[in-house]
Amino acid sequence: MKKVTYIESRFYDNGKGEARFHKTKPETEANPKYDGYVDTIGAGQSFPSLEAWLDELEGVENLNILLDDLKAGNWIDITAYC
């Protein structure tokens, strides 16, 4: 069975969006500065793979760069794709 991983997304009132990949479930708490979401990645989860999650974003260019940044644990800017 494939391990479940997570993608955390934050959407700010100013229109900015960002996302980060986690190997374990991130601890999140309500924050008045943004709306936060956590999606599960893996077989039988919200998305079967990180690639599938990225495919849901609109107009993604440089898919491999975003994927590499996510896998490295970096926050990525998804503002242009929301």
pLDDT, the chain, mean: 90
pLDDT digits (tens, 9 = 90+) for 29-58: 889 999 999 999 998 899 999 889 988 888
Burial letters for 32-51: b for 16+ Cβ neighbours within 10 Å, e otherwise?
Answer: eebeeeeeebbeeebbeebe
Euclidean distance between CA atoms 16 and 79, whole angstroms: 5
The burial of 3, by beta-carbon neighbours within 10 Å (0-12 exposed, 13-18 middle, 19 or more buried), is given as exposed
Q: How far is CA 2 from the centre of its chain?
A: 18
Q: Residue 5 pLDDT > 70, yes or no?
A: yes
| Contacts for 42 with CB less than 8 Å, ≥ 6 apart | 2, 3, 4, 5, 48, 49
